[in-house]
């Protein structure tokens, strides 16, 4: 009896001891979680935001995403800068240049370009090609980069002597920005392999996202509308521009999206909404594989014939707009094949001053075409040198679009005359 009682007592003591040990371990784990420094908490917050929103969760299993978090948090991270570097290392295996950490300066500049009318820098919109080289998507009109002849398709090799391969996309873009009056040394290469160094002086670049004018000849009046990027104010500015052109009795419209590298997707969709009547604008595909078609409203701001100009600097939100106009037979596309960015990013705040951009969806044109890495092929290719000043009198692309619109309008007049003539025959 005593032996059985002693065994039971020993067993209870053992269980109690194990429970105390387990409870203590749990307490230590809880304490370790709550004892994260602010810098490590920044890393954990970044990981969580990407984990919840990234458009391709299958990638997580492939790269052992949870293990990356664990290994990153084991590093010595004591400052914000160390946290940003750790987040960059953590995001690199995702192999998505558009999912990136934005340091305070870059975060503020990106918000300014999306919501403001000017930025400080050299005026370059950058991306990565299939070989992870930093490529110029487009230059901003009137910027130092444009003045020095940097064009779409050029590669950024070095910034202030540091290789762009070492810097990566986000840091290359960051190095190019800065206070007005300061200089940055940039090494550029052409597709031909030609190298040159350029000393660019940063300055305030007026984005002027919407520009318009009226083109007239002896028989027709045509409107010209250029959109240089899609910031928050653009849809309203486009509405105002289209209303002004209608009041000036334009018969057709040339929409110029050359070197428009994108911006806010919502703004691009809103502009499509002004030009399409109850038609699909774009389909989005999120991490759950759901495709949501966005349909335009019934009322339009302009319903006359159109030509849309695109080139290899036309990217992202401007490709959404161009693709919707082409697939709905609303506008002829003229120019060059577009850049091919079919991914959508969401911008999230991280800590007090920094942010993180996360690719949350891909998009397809109304006919189901995937633009990512493919671009959009125009209906009519233009193998002509581009003007240094888009929309000017020596812009041959605009002149070609103008001539095409005039032929459409003249054919329409002939068709209307034939209809009137047929009605006269019937009435007689």
- State how far the Cα of 243 lies from the Cα of 379, in Å rounded to an integer: 28
Q: CA of 102: how far to CAs of 19, 83, 97, 187, 298, in Å?
A: 45, 12, 12, 24, 39
Determine contact, residues 139/146, Cβ cutoff 8 Å.
Answer: yes
Q: Is 399 exposed, middle or buried (0-12, 13-18, 19+ CB in 10 A)?
A: middle
Please, which residues bridge with residue 347 across strands? Answer: 357
Residue numbers annotated as active site:
316, 327, 341
Determine contact, residues 83/39, Cβ cutoff 8 Å.
Answer: yes
Determine contact, residues 241/302, Cβ cutoff 8 Å.
Answer: no
Please provide residue 165's backbone torsions phi and psi, each rounded to the nearest 5 degrees.
Answer: -65, -40
- State how far the Cα of 219 lies from the Cα of 251, in Å rounded to an integer: 10
Six-digit token string for 288: 């759950």
Q: Is 425 exposed, middle or buried (0-12, 13-18, 19+ CB in 10 A)?
A: exposed
CA angle, residues 373, 375, 376, in degrees to nearest 5: 160
């Amino acid at each position: 009896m005593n032996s059985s009682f002693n065994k039971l007592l020993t067993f209870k003591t053992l269980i109690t001891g194990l429970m105390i040990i387990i409870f203590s371990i749990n307490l230590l784990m809880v304490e370790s979680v709550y004892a994260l420094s602010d810098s490590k908490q920044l890393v954990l917050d970044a990981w969580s935001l990407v984990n919840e929103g990234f458009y391709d969760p299958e990638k997580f299993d492939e790269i052992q995403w949870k293990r990356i978090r664990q290994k990153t948090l084991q590093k010595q991270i004591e400052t914000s800068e160390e946290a940003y570097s750790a987040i960059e290392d953590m995001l690199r295996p995702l192999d998505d240049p558009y999912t990136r950490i934005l340091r305070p300066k870059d975060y503020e500049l990106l918000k300014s370009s999306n919501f403001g009318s000017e930025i400080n820098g050299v005026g370059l919109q950058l991306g990565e090609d299939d070989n992870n080289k930093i490529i110029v998507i487009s230059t901003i009109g009137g910027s130092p980069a444009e003045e020095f002849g940097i064009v779409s398709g050029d590669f950024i090799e070095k910034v202030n002597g540091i290789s762009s391969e070492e810097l990566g996309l986000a840091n290359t873009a960051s190095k190019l920005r800065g206070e007005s009056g300061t200089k940055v040394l940039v090494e550029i290469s052409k597709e031909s392999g030609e190298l040159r160094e350029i000393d660019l002086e940063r300055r305030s670049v007026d984005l002027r996202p919407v520009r318009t004018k009226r083109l007239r000849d002896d028989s027709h009046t045509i409107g010209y509308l250029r959109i240089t990027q899609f910031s928050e104010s653009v849809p309203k500015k486009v509405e105002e521009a289209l209303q002004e052109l209608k009041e000036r009795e334009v018969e057709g419209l040339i929409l110029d999206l050359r070197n428009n590298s994108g911006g806010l997707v919502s703004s691009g969709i809103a502009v499509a909404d002004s030009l399409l009547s109850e038609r699909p604008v774009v389909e989005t595909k999120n991490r759950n594989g759901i495709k949501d078609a966005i349909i335009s409203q019934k009322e339009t701001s302009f319903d006359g014939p159109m030509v849309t100009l695109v080139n290899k600097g036309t990217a992202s939100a401007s490709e959404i707009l161009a693709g919707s106009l082409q697939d709905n037979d609303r506008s002829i596309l003229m120019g060059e094949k577009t850049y091919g960015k079919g991914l959508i990013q969401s911008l999230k705040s991280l800590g007090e001053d920094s942010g993180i951009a996360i690719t949350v969806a891909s998009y397809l044109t109304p006919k189901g075409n995937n633009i990512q890495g493919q671009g959009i092929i125009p209906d009519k290719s233009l193998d002509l040198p581009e003007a240094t000043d888009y929309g000017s009198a020596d812009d041959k692309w605009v002149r070609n679009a103008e001539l095409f619109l005039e032929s459409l309008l003249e054919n329409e007049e002939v068709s209307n005359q034939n209809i009137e003539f047929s009605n006269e025959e019937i009435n007689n």
